[in-house]
Structure 1
Amino acid sequence: MTFFEDLRAAREGVLSLGFWALQVYRFGHLRYRFQSKLVRYPLGALHIVLSKVAEMLCGVTIGVSAKIGRRLVIEHSGAIVVHGNAVLGDDCIIRQGVTIGNRYMDKPLDAPVIGQRVNIGAGAKILGAVHIGDDAEIGANAVVLKDVPAGAVAVGVPARIILRKSEL
């Protein structure tokens, strides 16, 4: 069950605000499993309330229709926004001040696709329909506007891509 996997992955355990914000997202996403409006609507209404509480208390906003893999770690909560169309793979780490969202107002559905085991530094912004490869690292305060290959590091504003020696 993802609840216990998320709990084991959270370094602070049940005291982690990021863990609880993630559980609110998972609860809201649960409603997509039901076809009946008698089930979906009450779950949706409850999720709206819980997500606003999570925003206020945890500082984390996760779009309910985002696709988030297993064992996501929100290491330090606060000022984190994940677009509703974003995709995050398994075992990713997000730190405070991260935005994963769209880049242009006229393309509101464009959102990043982030691979497995991606480490996203504090204050990083990943914007638009970009793909971040598996095992990539996004440096603190980087602004990623283009694809990052698997295993690479993205740093700077705008982010420049650095291939690791094993990738050369």
Structure 2
Amino acid sequence: MLAQEGELVGFNILRSIYNFIFSTADRRVYFYIKLMVLMKERKLKILGTILSRRLQRKYGVFLPYESKFDASLNLVHPTSIIIGSGVELGRNVTIYQNVTLGRSSASINAYPIIGENTIIYSGAVILGSIEIGKNCIIGANAVVTRDVPKNSIAVGVPAKFHPRKNDS
């Protein structure tokens, strides 16, 4: 009986390794983000930078070690996501593919600040020293260059803001 239980434990470990190796890119990028947060907490900049560069090469996700984010960051369909080194991301931010968050000019070192519980949909561009409030939705392909009030929806080029209706 003990030999069978030991074999079962070994099988579960192998299955876990197999699932990680053959998992979707979303899950693997999530793992990299968790590791980067751990490296930041332990002040291991070199290892954090190596993980950041690995994300760039493997998945096309530019998430510099210097940017401010936590383990709740969710990158859905993680490809072509560019986050500048000075960007600050709040808790529970969700970002879809082809999003750019950065400065509006190479000569000005000013980056956006994204509030908690914000969702940024595909192709959105958020540039400059602006603040996106809490609980906002940035629509697909929106170009945001001004502050967005909390509980708002930003859509269009240039983005126009609409109040978010209560979910209750």
**TM-score category by the smaller chain?**
0.7 to 0.9
For the pair shown, which has the larger CA radius of gyration, 1 or 2? Answer: 2
Contact 2:93/2:119, CA 8 A, preserved across alignment: yes
How many matched pairs?
144
TM-score (norm 1): 0.76
Aligned-pair distance for 1:23? 2.8
> Cα RMSD over matched residues?
2.2
Encode CA deviations 1:69-88: one digit per residue, 9 max, x unaligned.
Answer: 45111111001111111111
Matches within 5 A, 1:1-168: 16-32=27-43, 43-107=44-108, 109-165=109-165
**Higher RCO (C-alpha 8 Å, min separation 6):** 1
Contact 1:17/1:77, CA 8 A, preserved across alignment: no
Contact 2:37/2:71, CA 8 A, preserved across alignment: no
2:8 aligned partner: none
Q: Identity rate of aligned residues, in percent? A: 33
Contact 1:82/1:100, CA 8 A, preserved across alignment: yes
**Runs of at least 5 residues in structure 1 that lack an aligned partner in the other structure:** 1-11, 33-42
TM-score (norm 2): 0.76
Encode CA deviations 1:7-62: one digit per residue, 9 max, x unaligned.
Answer: xxxxx889623303423532442354xxxxxxxxxx43333333222112122111
Decide whether aligned partners of structure 1 residues 132 and 19 sit closer, same or farther in structure 2, where only a CA change above 3 A counts.
Answer: same
